Amino acid sequence: MRTSTLSTALIGFSLVAGGSALSMGLASLGARPGPQSPARQVGVVGPDGRGDPRGCIFDERLASYAAGWPFDLCDCPYPPACDDPINRDAAIPTPATPMKVVRIRVVVFANDDGSDPTSVLGEVEDQIAVLNADFAQHRFYFQHTVDFINSTAARIGAIPATVFAENPGVQCNVYVVATNGSSATGPWESQALADEGGVLMSEDHFASDLHVLTHEMGHTLGLWHTFHGSQLNIACGVGPCHDCSESVGAANTDLVGDHCSDTPPMLAGGFATCTSPTGIDPCSGRPWGAMPENYMDYAGALLPGCDMLFTPQQSGRMHCWSADELSAWFSAPGDLNGDGFVNIADPIFLKDYLFGGGAAPNPLCRGDVNGDGGIDIADMIYLLNYLFSQGPAPTDGC
Ligand SMILES: [Zn+2]
């Protein structure tokens, strides 16, 4: 339950200013992440100047893994495909893009005796509704389940909430805890589909007038903060105004910082208002850009009413990264009950919905497996034909 003031929330949130504190804290420093999608490797500078052979693309991630990397921090041999602006832009969705339906499992903790739960069912439903509203135009839908677990130690962070991970290979675990910070694992991290991954939500941030879950899900699907690589520049250990910095007006803003040129470089977040920060970018001498209403800034996520957008390039990054790394979380057309399989249980689920007062397909549009715009007995027959008579595959419906 939300118990503290916004200022407390801001302090708590600033604890994860580096982006993915949860996974970075749990990462083995000796492990070297494998190459990402080698079939689409980029990383050489072409005649058009794209690509960056020295990397700095991974910057904070590289720093966190530095001990295990046999490379200079600025030597990044495997720039991930989805950091290539061409791949990113090719993935920008349109209104006709089929929804990616992502399975998530929300875990609410209470004390051992069941007292002081970090949330209640109604609040979870409200928060998921906000999440789905925020992502609808970006063609993501989150199909959720909720578990309530009594564990004082996990509730207060004395043991990792991730001890209670369940099937992280097919769903994103989201833990609501009574600690200050919220954080998420990026799709490029080796823990993304492992028990140690997932989203950690402070109960102070888990509230339907805030968009912190939207922010953390943005990280989960492949976004950095909009101020990444500007003021918060630890890239390559050389401080600000390095080639790796994202600087106002620079030509390389697609390749550094948050890897989106449609989000202006800006001061690190934590604004008390939803107005543009003042001040000068020390690297360019120009006024900071600003997009405080972006979900991936702190103001956009933390100030009610200042919470309006992902940019097209951010949307493209999320589609590219999730398709490359997280597709095991996607629910398939025809999987009406959301159990990860398309089988006889799905037409039965639809029958119960249509004629027995059972639960609705989630999302509802998924029930339209024959794509005729309605949900009725014809869909049930269509699904049975697919399963048992070599009929055509279910359509997406959404
Ligand atoms: Zn963040």
pLDDT, tens only, 90-125: 999 999 888 899 999 999 999 999 999 999 999 999
Assigned token pair, 200: 């950690």
Give percent of the chain with pLDDT exceeding 90: 50
Report CA(370)–ligand 1 centroid distance (Å). Answer: 40
> What's the pLDDT at 313?
98
Report CA(13)–ligand 1 centroid distance (Å). Answer: 8
Report CA(208)–ligand 1 centroid distance (Å). Answer: 18
Range with the poorest average pLDDT among 170-179, 234-243, 298-307: 234-243
Q: Could you say which of 1.10.1330.10, 3.30.450.20, 1.20.1090.10, 3.30.420.40 is the CATH number of the domain covering 333-398? A: 1.10.1330.10
Domain boundaries, the chain: 333-398
Residue 226 in this model has a pLDDT that exceeds 60: yes
> What's the pLDDT at 244?
61
Going by DSSP bridges, is the β-strand pair 183-184/199-202 parallel, antiparallel, or unpaired?
antiparallel
Range with the poorest average pLDDT among 10-19, 86-95, 139-148, 294-303: 10-19
Report CA(296)–ligand 1 centroid distance (Å). Answer: 6
Distant-in-sequence, close-in-space partners of 49: CB < 8 Å, separation ≥ 6: none
Report CA(321)–ligand 1 centroid distance (Å). Answer: 17
Residue 140 in this model has a pLDDT that exceeds 90: yes
Cα(182)–Cα(200) distance, integer angstroms: 5
> What's the pLDDT at 105?
97
Name the maximum alpha-carbon separation found in the chain. 68
Report CA(199)–ligand 1 centroid distance (Å). Answer: 11
| Predicted model pTM | 0.77
Assigned token pair, 312: 């097209």
Long-range contacts of 333-336 (CB under 8 A, 24+ apart): 333/366, 333/369, 333/393, 333/394, 333/395, 333/396, 333/397, 334/366, 334/369, 334/383, 334/386, 334/393, 334/394, 335/366, 336/361, 336/366, 336/367, 336/369, 336/383
Cα(178)–Cα(4) distance, integer angstroms: 11
Report CA(174)–ligand 1 centroid distance (Å). Answer: 15
Residue 188 in this model has a pLDDT that exceeds 60: yes
Report CA(19)–ligand 1 centroid distance (Å). Answer: 5
Residue 14 in this model has a pLDDT that exceeds 70: no
Long-range contacts of 238-243 (CB under 8 A, 24+ apart): 240/282, 240/283, 241/282, 241/283, 242/56, 243/54, 243/56
pLDDT, tens digit (0-9, with 9 covering 90-100), for 254-268: 877 788 999 988 776
Cα(161)–Cα(165) distance, integer angstroms: 8
Range with the poorest average pLDDT among 42-46, 72-76, 294-298: 42-46
Residue 48 in this model has a pLDDT that exceeds 60: no
Cα(100)–Cα(205) distance, integer angstroms: 25
Report CA(295)–ligand 1 centroid distance (Å). Answer: 9
pLDDT, tens digit (0-9, with 9 covering 90-100), for 199-224: 999 999 999 989 999 999 999 999 98
pLDDT, tens digit (0-9, with 9 covering 90-100), for 345-397: 999 999 999 999 999 998 888 899 999 999 999 999 999 999 999 899 898 88
Report CA(301)–ligand 1 centroid distance (Å). Answer: 9
